Amino acid sequence: MMHSVENRFIAIVCGAMLVFIAPLLVLFLSISSDRIARERIHNIELLMAASAEALGKPIWDFDSDGIKHIARSLINGTDILSVTVRDQTGSILAQMPLGGAVPGTKDRILSLPISYQSMDGMKEIGRIEVRVPTPGLLSQFSKDELAILAILLFAVAIVFAAALVGNRFTVMRPLMRLTAAIEATRRLGSRHRVDWTSDDEMGALAANFNEMQDRLEREETELKNAHERVTDIYNLTPAMLFSLDVDGRLLAVSDYWLLATGYDRDDVIGRDFVDFIDQHWHETYRSHAKTIAVGDHEIREVTVPFRKTDSELMTVLIQETKATGEGSLSLSVMTDVTALKQAESRNHTQAITDHLTGLLNRQGFEGALDDAIRQADECGMQLGCLFIDLDRFKWINDNFGHAAGDEVLRHTVELIRDALSPGDIMARLGGDEFAILISDRDAAALASEIGERIVSALREPMPIAGNELLVSASVGISVYPAHAENASDLLLKADMAMYARKHDGKNGLQLFDASMLDASRERHEIEQCIEAGLKDDHFEAWLQPIVSLADGQIAGFEALMRLNHPEKGLMPPGKIIGIAEETGTIARIGDHILEKAIRHLAAISELDGTQNTYLAVNFSPLQFELTLPHKLAALLLKHHISPCRIVVEITEAVLMLDNPEVHAVLKQLNEFGCRIALDDFGTGYSSLSYLNRFPVDIVKVDQSFTRSLSSGTADIRRKSRMLIKGIRTISHQMGCTVVAEGIETKEQWQLLRKLGVDCGQGYLFSRPMQIDSMLKMLESDSEAKTAAVADRRA
């Protein structure tokens, strides 16, 4: 069977012969036939002309034999079928052959007139008619001509056969070998070559094919080696690698994947990957994966539980990168993050848990509070928030150590838990602050009941480190949604209620009400005024004289803090000091007042008779830092003031701290030359012991004792005189000067002088005033001062 290429070649050659050779041959035959026919007709016409000229006389003479003889001689000519001679009337004079020839459909009749030259001139005397056949295409050729035509056709056939044979040997044979090599390569898989060499295009084609086969064989070998290396890398990589098709079925898995999951390769290839994921996480795997961009690639990432062959679940992080294109090839890596997730869970628990008590911390409580509000909205319940702050906890830490403080906190948690229900949420917000969250139809009543139980439980002494410690609590309560609209506001309102309880005497319970917002706003305004005062220098050091009760001479001055706001005027110093101590700005305020007071003392010292007066400055417990003596020394040196003219006034609160740092500061100040004054003496728990434990030089009797001297009750007056006398006796025996505060009447002055009190201060002598007013008073006429003193003595 011939190959299609050869069939097409034969068809092309035959078509070329039909389209080009055959029409040319037919045209050649047609032209040649027409030429021969024209030549024959021309010859016949010449014979007819000669015969017509010869017939003129016989016809004129009526020579029938002559006419027939000429007609007979004419018909013997080539290609003449019949000859007919007619006279002028059309009658037949002679006809050859006799009776005429059988007429053909394609015969042709040639006619020529017969003329004779008579005496009268040339006359037409008849007509000669000749019937000739219409020749065929080949019938007119001679044998020689037909032989030449046959030779031509044979030559064409030889060319056609040569083309077929040449095509067979020069084209078809190398093509067949090339086809056989391709088929063998396709069937057997090996690279076959074409055994053909020639210097033509087929040789070049065979050489190129063999070269291509060699190159493909090399590339195939390299590709096979690369595939083996990739497979080895895929399987040797210590990671759970796998690939999925477009339908999410496993195409390949690494050996480490099989080792980590316990499956066999044949059991997993072709399976849907989601079959290995916990069924509750199928939707998460399909739709919740997030895509992150890494360079020019996008990585799809999701964390889901994966079920191993033993049905054990492990948490895996799946990261998938997918190639673009129709194949959608993907490569995924699966990492076991079970331990990491467990660590994250532990870290999250630690992040929201207080390490000391095991309770929620502030962050955890705020999260629980948000969830509780959502649940309360859904169920129509109320939430009660209790904010608890322990009283005197800092004192316990400072006096018994932080270990004892931690034990107090743990014991407090146990006591509070006993007052709670299992569903109540408790948290330690920080330090000694706790919060409790309850849910009830009437949350305010339940919270108040729980708060009362907690306050009552904390009134009992705690056996801590061999000591019976008393720890009370201030509790603030707020209710959602009555008092707040969100979690942060609810906690804030409870905190405000707790602070209101502390300001009203601590150790009790306080339910939030709207008036606390006014107090909070006032507190906020005072905080802003404090910051503005520190920034714009609105704080002033006012001075109040301290007078010798014996002769009425000014012994010294007490510096008092005043905030002179440009819009609000003088603001209450008690509130400012309390808020400043809570916010920690008291140290900055103290530095301002100390510097200004010393500057004022320097100005007063320029007046005659004031060089021995002293300056008493109040110090907050928060100001007792190790740098305080250095600050004070720098200020005294700057203004040329002797340290012995400075009196550091401290309260029992400072001494109660029993802080080694406070001890060290007081010792340095005493060694530097400053004197120490114990303010508000007699109002604390154990004031007498401090006279022995600390370097006190001046004892200031609280103004409550001074006012009691003028009481309408005789018993109170008697007890007050006894207390003041006792304080004076003890103080003098310990080398301390006694100063009475709050002297407002001459009677009080006289009684205190009789009781042996050394000095005093109060509105009777002078109100606190600015430095300018104080300088004017001190610069006034000495006689007027003497008269005033004499008048007071009278």
pLDDT in tens, 259-281: 888 999 888 899 988 889 888 88
Q: Is the pLDDT of residue 787 over 70?
A: no
Mind giving me the DSSP string for 351-411? HTB-TTT-SB-HHHHHHHHHHHHHHHHHHT-EEEEEEEEEETHHHHHHHH-HHHHHHHHHH
- For residue 175, what pLDDT is reported? 77
Average pLDDT on 361-387 reads 89
- For residue 88, what pLDDT is reported? 83
* Coil, helix or strand at residue 130: strand
- For residue 138, what pLDDT is reported? 61
| Pick from 50, 40, 58: nearest CA to 94 | 58
**Residue 577 near residue 564, CB atoms below 8 Å:** no
Cα 665 to Cα 199, 500, 619, 659, distances in angstroms: 114, 34, 12, 10
Q: Is the pLDDT of residue 131 over 80?
A: yes
Q: Of all helices (H) and strands (E), which one includes residue 310?
A: none
Q: What single-letter DSSP state applies at residue 277? A: B
* The residue to which tokens 């005072």 are assigned: 526
The total of other beta-carbon atoms located within 10 Å of residue 121's CB is 7
Cα gap 573→596, rounded to integer Å: 17
- For residue 791, what pLDDT is reported? 43
Task: Judge if the upstream peptide bond of residue 629 is cis by omega within 30 degrees of 0.
Answer: no
**Side-chain half-sphere of 375: how many Cα atoms within 13 Å?**
11
Task: Judge if the upstream peptide bond of residue 97 is cis by omega within 30 degrees of 0.
Answer: yes
- For residue 184, what pLDDT is reported? 79
The separation between CA 649 and the C-alpha centre of its own chain, rounded to angstroms, equals: 58
**The pair of three-digit structure tokens given for residue 626, joined into one six-digit string:** 């190790």
Cα gap 780→607, rounded to integer Å: 11
**Exposed/middle/buried for 697, CB within 10 Å: 0-12, 13-18, 19+?**
middle
Q: Is the pLDDT of residue 615 over 70?
A: yes
**The pair of three-digit structure tokens given for residue 254, joined into one six-digit string:** 């690494």
At 396, is the pLDDT very low, low, confident or very high (cuts 50, 70, 90)? confident
How are strands ordered across the β-sheet holding 121-132? 92-96, 82-87, 121-132, 108-118
* Coil, helix or strand at residue 533: helix
At 547, is the pLDDT very low, low, confident or very high (cuts 50, 70, 90)? very high
Cα gap 769→554, rounded to integer Å: 15
Q: Is the pLDDT of residue 291 over 70?
A: no
From 17-31, 251-265, 409-423, the region with the lowest mean pLDDT? 17-31
Q: What single-letter DSSP state applies at residue 133? A: P
Average pLDDT on 701-729 reads 88
* The residue to which tokens 């109320």 are assigned: 382
At 785, is the pLDDT very low, low, confident or very high (cuts 50, 70, 90)? very low
Q: What single-letter DSSP state applies at residue 292? A: E
Query: Bigger pLDDT: 640 or 213?
Result: 640
- For residue 196, what pLDDT is reported? 76
Cα gap 451→63, rounded to integer Å: 176
Identity at 162, one-letter amino acid code: A
- For residue 163, what pLDDT is reported? 79
Cβ partners under 8 Å of residue 433, min gap 6: 387, 388, 389
Q: Furthest-apart CA pair in the chain: how many Å?
A: 217
Per-residue pLDDT reduced to its tens digit, 730-760: 889 888 999 999 999 999 999 999 999 999 9
Cα gap 412→26, rounded to integer Å: 130
Identity at 688, one-letter amino acid code: L
Beta-bridge partners for 700: 739
Cβ partners under 8 Å of residue 322, min gap 6: 298, 300, 328, 329, 330
Average pLDDT on 87-115 reads 77
Q: What single-letter DSSP state applies at residue 247? A: T
- For residue 323, what pLDDT is reported? 65
Identity at 429, one-letter amino acid code: L
HEC assignment per residue over 596-630:
HHHHHHHHHCCCCCCCCCEEEEECCHHHCCCCHHH
Beta strands 539-548 and 508-511 are unpaired
Beta strands 554-565 and 108-118 are unpaired
**Angle, CA of 114, 117 and 121, to the nearest 5°:** 115
* Coil, helix or strand at residue 675: strand
Sign of CA dihedral 214, 216, 219, 223: negative
Based on C-alpha coordinates, what's the Rg of the chain?
68
Cα gap 27→407, rounded to integer Å: 131
- For residue 794, what pLDDT is reported? 40
Sign of CA dihedral 154, 156, 162, 168: negative
**Residue 128 near residue 85, CB atoms below 8 Å:** yes
**Angle, CA of 434, 657 and 458, to the nearest 5°:** 35
**Angle, CA of 588, 591 and 597, to the nearest 5°:** 140
HEC assignment per residue over 57-87:
HHHHHCCHHHHHHHHHHHHCCCCCCEEEEEE
pTM, two decimal places: 0.50
Cα gap 751→717, rounded to integer Å: 11
* The residue to which tokens 């408790």 are assigned: 426
* Coil, helix or strand at residue 425: strand
**Residue 733 near residue 725, CB atoms below 8 Å:** no
Q: 139-143, 273-277, 309-313, 384-388: which has the highest mean pLDDT?
A: 384-388
- For residue 789, what pLDDT is reported? 43
Q: At what angle do helices 586-604 and 515-536 cross, to 10 degrees?
A: 50
Q: Is the pLDDT of residue 686 over 50?
A: no
At 3, is the pLDDT very low, low, confident or very high (cuts 50, 70, 90)? low
**Exposed/middle/buried for 179, CB within 10 Å: 0-12, 13-18, 19+?**
middle
Q: Of all helices (H) and strands (E), which one includes residue 529?
A: helix 515-536
At 86, is the pLDDT very low, low, confident or very high (cuts 50, 70, 90)? confident
The separation between CA 639 and the C-alpha centre of its own chain, rounded to angstroms, equals: 60
Q: At what angle do helices 402-418 and 443-457 cross, to 10 degrees?
A: 130
Arithmetic mean of pLDDT over the chain: 83
* The residue to which tokens 């030889």 are assigned: 158
- For residue 739, what pLDDT is reported? 95
* Coil, helix or strand at residue 205: helix
**Residue 241 near residue 250, CB atoms below 8 Å:** no
- For residue 1, what pLDDT is reported? 43
Per-residue pLDDT reduced to its tens digit, 405-456: 889 899 999 998 888 888 899 999 888 899 999 999 898 999 999 999 999 8
**Residue 612 near residue 649, CB atoms below 8 Å:** no
- In the chain, the percentage of residues whose pLDDT exceeds 70 is 91
- For residue 769, what pLDDT is reported? 94
Cβ partners under 8 Å of residue 374, min gap 6: none
**Residue 694 near residue 733, CB atoms below 8 Å:** no
Beta-bridge partners for 440: 382
From 189-193, 259-263, 316-320, the region with the lowest mean pLDDT? 189-193
Average pLDDT on 171-178 reads 77
* Coil, helix or strand at residue 20: helix
Cα gap 477→437, rounded to integer Å: 10
**The pair of three-digit structure tokens given for residue 8, joined into one six-digit string:** 């097409």
From 98-107, 190-199, 368-377, 671-680, the region with the lowest mean pLDDT? 98-107
From 196-200, 212-216, 414-418, 784-788, the region with the lowest mean pLDDT? 784-788
Sign of CA dihedral 211, 214, 218, 220: positive
